[in-house]
Every structure is written in C-alpha cells, then in structure tokens.
C-alpha cells in the first residue's frame, strides 16, 4: 500500500506526457504492470492480515521463493521503466557534431518528472537497505525464566533509523507537490499562458505560476543536506516544518538550512496562491469546518485568536481602502469639474470671438461706398430721308 501513491503518480504523468493509450499498447506499458503489482501486494497484505500470518512485506511466511520479495523487486523494476517512459515522452534529445542537447518541455511537467524519479530512487534505496538488514535467527535471552520455566527474551535494542528512513520522511510530501505541479501545468495550457511572458501582467504572474518549482528546489536542497549530514556522526532530526535540523548548525550547514527553508516556504506560498482564489474558497468552505472540528481544544483556541486577528486586520485594511477610494473619487470629481469649467470658458470665449467677428463684418459693409453704375447709352437711329426732287409742273 505504501507504493500506491507512487504508482498513481506514474499513471498520471504517463497519461499527461504520452496521452491516453489504447488497449493494444497496454501490454507493453510498464505503468500498467506497476499498478497491477501494487494491487497484488495490497491483496496479499489483506489476506495475510486476516489469515493471521504474513511477513512485513505482505508475503506469506514459508513461501519457497519469497513471493513478497519478488513482487517488490518486480514493482520497483516496473517503476524504473515507467519513469524512463515518462522521461522519454517529456524530453527530446538531439545529436549533432557539437554534442548532445537535451530539451525539456514545460518546466512544471519536467519538475514533476524529476520529483517522481527521486521518489523511485528513494523507494529503491529503502528496499535495498531493508534487504541488507538481517534479522537475528533467535531472539537473545537474558538468562531468566518465567513461572512456566520458559526463558524470557531480552528486549532487542532499538536500532537508529538509517539514511533511507530520513530520505523517505523528506520525500513523503512530494506526492502532493507533484499534484500541484500538474494542476498548474494543466491550467497554464488551458489558459494559453504557456511560454515566455508577452505582457506585464503575465510577467508579474510568473512567481505564482512557477512557485512550486521553487519548492521542488527546496526538496533537492533537503536531499543535499541529508547527504552532507550523513557523512557526520550526528543523527539528523526533523522540525515542525519537516526540514532537517542538525545538532550543530554552524557555517555552511546553517546557510544551507536557511536556503532550504526559504525555498520551501516561499515556493509553497507562491504555488498555493497561484492555484486561484476559487479553489481556496471551495476548500475553505468544505474542508475548513471539518478540520476545525477535528483539532484539539488548544489548537482551536489558537486558530480562533488567529482568525480574530486576521479579521481585525482585514477590517482595518478595508476601512483604509474605502477611505482611499473615496478620496480618489472626490479628487476625480474635482478634476472633472475643473475640466468642464475650463471647457465652458473656452467655448464662451470662442462664441464671443465669433460674435465679435460678425459685428465687425457688418460695420464694414455699412461704411463701404460704391459708385452708381453709369446709365446705359441708348442709341437712336434716325430715318434716312432722301432729298425730295422738285415736282415738275
């Protein structure tokens, strides 16, 4: 059952990178066998629990071939193959004369793939460490016997957890981080924000869109801190935030822990804020009351005081915002009134100029003297008379 979240994560990544496959491709898909082996392990564990026998890995005692161990080996082999299949669907390699160039697609999906590979490596390391730890054939006795005469077994000393246990504790919350990365990846593809920012708003939204990547960097720093601390003798511990805390934090160890905390906390905050207000409103209205009821009385009192402080701060912020908005609206109204008055004065001056120009034009027409037109000459033609000849008598 411990491998079920990892198998589900591999199935989600396989579907997101290569798309839904057909039934013809299912026999060659290692993720399918990974899920089937997880189901077989869970069924064996249930049978062993109800049957009253079973090993730590859910395998029946006395099995000749160690069926549980073989199932675990087969499960991790299919996990490795499934991770390789997801990586093949995510990255693209180009071979040229200058060298080999490897290109990833979306940074969110690439980070989810790397975290899944980290989970597989840690799970395989835990399996190897568990197989190397040999249990004693017979429990040691303290030399005493009980009332029935049977020797009482001596309490076995508690062994310190190994490096694999700390690594498993570190990467335990990574499943939720992978789901957050996939959600933001799907949202960015649906909204068309995939790629380089093209505006100021998209550039400002980059920290919220890629906040979970910063948290993934914090997980990598955790693993690096674990590898560095494993070289010493002091056993590490985890604080309330799940961050490694060493007995002596000086020099590079303290700087590494501060950088890890900064990446984890800031990355988670930015990533959660990038999921959107609607999601958190739904979760707050549904899961919020349930979680509050399940909390102890002291925790509820602390949550109540925090809620009161937040509400009072929100009220003060709302009052300040309302006063600012009112002042801004009044200033805008005053500016509009001044602008309207200025336009009215300009229109009045323009009308006065036009009226003054018309008046001057009328006076000029009245004072202008024009000469009367000369009367048209009338030409009269006289009838031509011929000289009369004297009449003869």
How does pLDDT run across 312-368, given as a tens digit for each residue? Answer: 888 888 888 889 889 989 998 999 999 999 998 889 888 888 887 766 666 555 554
Please give the pLDDT value at position 230: 58
Q: What does the pLDDT read at residue 184?
A: 84
pLDDT for the residue 137: 47
CB atoms < 10 A from the CB of 276, how many? Answer: 14
Mean of per-residue pLDDT scores for the chain = 74
- The mean pLDDT of 139-168, rounded to a whole number, is 60
Q: Given this model, what pLDDT does residue 151 score?
A: 56
pLDDT in tens, 125-144: 888 877 655 444 455 555 55
pLDDT band at residue 64 using 50, 70 and 90 as cut-offs: very low
Cα separation, 35 vs 116, whole angstroms: 15
Residue 239 is predicted with a pLDDT of 65
The pLDDT assigned to 192 comes to 64
| 65 or 83: which leads in pLDDT | 83
Task: For residue 69, give both structure tokens.
Answer: 């161990």
CB burial string 17-34: b at 16+ within 10 A, e below: bbeeeeeeeeeebbbbbb
Task: Report, as an integer, the average pLDDT of 201-218.
Answer: 79
* Mean pLDDT of all residues in 171-185: 85
User: What percentage of the chain carries pLDDT values higher than 70?
Assistant: 68
- HEC letters along 224-282: HHHHHHCCCCCCCEECCCCCEECCCCCCHHHHHHHHHHHHHHHHHHHHHHHCCHHHHHH
Q: What is the mean pLDDT of residues 195-219?
A: 75
Residues ≥6 apart with Cβ < 8 Å to 92: 102, 103
CA 262 – CA 266 distance, rounded (Å) = 6
- 84, 11 contact by CB (below 8 A): no
- What is Dmax (Cα atoms) for the chain? 212
**Domain spans of the chain, in order of start:** 295-343
Q: Can you give the pLDDT at residue 67?
A: 78
- What's residue 131's pLDDT? 63
Does residue 113 contact residue 16 with C-beta atoms inside 8 Å? no
Q: Cβ neighbours of residue 144 under 8 Å, at least 6 residues apart?
A: 151, 152
Q: Between these two residues, 113 and 208, which has the higher pLDDT value?
A: 113
Residue-level pLDDT at 97: 76
Q: What is the pLDDT of residue 57?
A: 43
Would residue 84 be called left, alpha or beta, if left means φ above 0 and alpha means ψ between -120 and 50 degrees?
Answer: alpha
pTM of the predicted structure, to 2 decimals: 0.62
Per-residue pLDDT of 186-198, as tens digits, reads: 877 776 655 555 6
Asked if pLDDT for residue 71 goes beyond 50, the answer is yes
Return d(Cα 188, Cα 4) in angstroms, integer: 28
Q: How far apart are CA 129 and CA 131, in angstroms?
A: 5
Percent of the chain past pLDDT 90, that is, above it, reads: 2
Query: What pLDDT sits at residue 261?
Result: 82
Cα–Cα dist 354/342, whole Å: 18
Question: For the segment 21-37, what is each residue's pLDDT rounded down to a tens digit?
Answer: 777 877 888 888 888 88
Mean pLDDT check: name the lowest of 198-212, 268-282, 340-354. Answer: 198-212
Residue 47 has pLDDT above 60, yes or no: yes
Give residue 60's pLDDT: 40
Instruction: Check pLDDT > 50 for residue 62.
Output: no
Q: What is the CA radius of gyration of the chain?
A: 45
Burial class for 179, CB neighbours closer than 10 Å (0-12, 13-18, 19+)? middle
Query: How far apart, in whole angstroms, are the C-alpha atoms of residue 314 and residue 297?
Result: 25
CA–CA distance, 80 with 117 (Å, rounded to integer): 8
């Amino acid at each position: 059952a411990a491998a079920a979240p990892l198998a589900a994560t591999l199935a989600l990544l396989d579907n997101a990178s290569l798309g839904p496959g057909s039934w013809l491709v299912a026999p060659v898909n290692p993720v399918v066998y990974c899920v089937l082996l997880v189901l077989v392990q869970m069924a064996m564990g249930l049978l062993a629990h109800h049957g009253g026998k079973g090993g730590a890995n859910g395998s029946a005692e006395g099995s000749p071939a160690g069926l549980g161990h073989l199932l675990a080996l087969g499960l991790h082999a299919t996990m490795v193959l499934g991770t390789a299949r997801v990586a093949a669907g995510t990255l693209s390699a180009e071979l040229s004369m200058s060298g080999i160039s490897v290109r990833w697609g979306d940074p969110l999906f690439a980070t989810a793939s790397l975290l899944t590979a980290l989970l597989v490596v840690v799970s395989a390391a835990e399996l190897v460490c568990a197989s190397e730890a040999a249990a004693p054939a017979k429990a040691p006795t303290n030399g005493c016997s009980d009332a029935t005469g049977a020797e009482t077994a001596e309490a076995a000393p508690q062994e310190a957890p190994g490096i694999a246990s700390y690594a498993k504790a570190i990467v335990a919350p990574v499943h939720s981080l992978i789901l957050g990365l996939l959600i933001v990846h799907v949202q960015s593809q649906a909204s068309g924000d995939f790629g380089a920012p093209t505006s100021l708003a998209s550039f400002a939204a980059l920290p919220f869109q890629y906040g979970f990547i910063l948290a993934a960097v914090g997980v990598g720093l955790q693993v690096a801190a674990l590898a560095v601390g494993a070289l010493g003798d002091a056993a590490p511990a985890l604080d309330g935030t799940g961050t490694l805390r060493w007995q002596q934090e000086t020099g590079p160890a303290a700087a590494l822990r501060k950088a890890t905390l900064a990446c984890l906390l800031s990355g988670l905050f930015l990533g959660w804020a990038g999921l959107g207000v609607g999601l958190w409103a739904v979760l707050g209205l549904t899961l919020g009351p349930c979680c509050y009821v399940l909390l102890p009385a002291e925790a509820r009192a602390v949550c109540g005081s925090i809620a009161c402080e937040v509400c009072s701060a929100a009220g003060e912020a709302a009052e300040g915002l309302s006063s600012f908005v009112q002042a801004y609206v009044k200033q805008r109204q005053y500016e509009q009134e001044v602008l309207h008055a200025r336009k009215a004065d300009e229109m009045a001056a323009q009308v006065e100029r036009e009226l003054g120009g018309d008046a001057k034009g009328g006076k000029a027409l009245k004072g202008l003297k024009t000469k009367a037109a000369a009367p048209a000459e009338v030409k009269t033609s006289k009838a031509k008379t011929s000289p009369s000849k004297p009449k003869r008598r």
